[in-house]
Structure 1
Amino acid sequence: MPPLVVTLAVDERAQTAWNALRRRWFPLERQLVDAHLTLFHALPGEHLATVLADCAEVADGPFELTVARVRSLGRGVALDVESTALLRLHAALRARWSAWLTRQDAQPFKPHVTVQSKVGPDVAAATLEAVRREPGPGTATATGLDVWHYRGGPWEHAAAVPFTAAG
């Protein structure tokens, strides 16, 4: 079974702005998915039902995120995102899935939205300056979680787990 990717869903205003940045700056031949904030990159696909149940169980109400800075990735650019609620959510899921975590997912969580990657350093430096001038909205609202099947190219949406006031 293909691995599962878990991303954070955000309000339409922020998603639209992040998608616009990604379409403008991400290499065209690599634009397979919309802008996203990944919580987990590769969970075992055979555990889809458990992943969805856990997401629903730990999901709380919507919460605010702050775009704290535009950061160089060396060969790309990212928007760093800060939120205590996001860190708590990630930690709760990480604890449930600790036995499944890949090396990448076991690393410290640094929430971000990748605007550009795998370009030359000069292109990345120019992009960094441009995005710092126009980074998009400074805040976003987390509205839920999305679970995707990773099939090597565009992701296939498996399910959405919306946040509700009741959790």
Structure 2
Amino acid sequence: MQTEQNPLILTLRLDDSSQAYFDELRERYFPPDRNFLKAHLTLFHKLPDQPDTLEYFNNLKYGTFEMKVIGLRHFGAGVAYQIESPELQQLRKEAGLYFWPVLSPQDRQAFKPHITIQNKVTPEASKALLRESSAHFKPFNVNGIGLDLWEYLGGPWRHNFSYDFIK
């Protein structure tokens, strides 16, 4: 009998200062009993745990790139920062084409990059944070410096693999 493996989640790694900034916001606004993770920008939610998955990322040749944080997004039970980057979109598109036959319906949807700082709260609480955060928001830049592959453990994630972009 074959056991099903845990899916792999692919995230973009941010520069240290940007990661610290979003981690602090997530720590502040995410319900503590549901906050198992650091802030992250998910590229794929469910990749297969197979040798060719790691091989694909081992063979990537991407340089670091700048991304623009363009605003905030409300999604009912939370708030996220919206990210804009042609390089990120290209990276996601190329990987999506490679993995298309095994992508989940969620991962086949249009890619709208974001970093969630609040989730699983009441609509009132998320609307209040959106109003508060939007009032003084000014676009700013962050850097994509690599990729991380995580094993989904039903809540927490376990780090599986890192890929550093070329500097």
1: CA distance between counterparts of 2:111 and 2:80?
14
State the 1:57 CA deviation.
2.5
1: CA distance between counterparts of 2:132 and 2:53?
38
1: CA distance between counterparts of 2:46 and 2:156?
15
Note the residue ranges of structure 1 that are not aligned, 5 or more in a row. Answer: none
Counterpart residue number, 1:9: 13
Note the residue ranges of structure 2 that are not aligned, 5 or more in a row. Answer: none
2: CA distance between counterparts of 1:138 and 1:21?
15
Counterpart residue number, 1:65: 67
Report the identity percentage.
38
State the 1:56 CA deviation.
3.0
Secondary structure in 2 aligned to 1:15?
Answer: helix
Secondary structure in 1 aligned to 2:112?
Answer: coil
5 Å-filtered alignment, 1:31-110, equals 31-45=35-49, 47=50, 49-110=51-112
TM-score, normalised relative to structure 1: 0.92
Q: Aligned AA for 2:157? A: W
Go from structure 1 to structure 2 and tell me whether the alpha carbon gap of 1:136 and 1:41 turns closer, same or farther (over 3 Å shift): farther
2: CA distance between counterparts of 1:133 and 1:63?
28
Is the Cα contact below 8 Å between 2:63 and 2:165 reproduced in 1? yes
Runs of 4+ in 1 over 6 A off after TM superposition: none
1: CA distance between counterparts of 2:36 and 2:142?
23
Is the Cα contact below 8 Å between 1:58 and 1:89 reproduced in 2? no
Counterpart residue number, 2:142: 140
Q: Aligned AA for 2:65? A: F
Go from structure 1 to structure 2 and tell me whether the alpha carbon gap of 1:135 and 1:59 turns closer, same or farther (over 3 Å shift): farther
State the 1:59 CA deviation.
3.8
Is the Cα contact below 8 Å between 1:59 and 1:144 reproduced in 2? no
Go from structure 1 to structure 2 and tell me whether the alpha carbon gap of 1:90 and 1:11 turns closer, same or farther (over 3 Å shift): same
Which moved further from structure 2: 83-92 or 66-75? 66-75
2: CA distance between counterparts of 1:7 and 1:50?
18
Secondary structure in 1 aligned to 2:156?
Answer: coil
Secondary structure in 2 aligned to 1:127?
Answer: helix
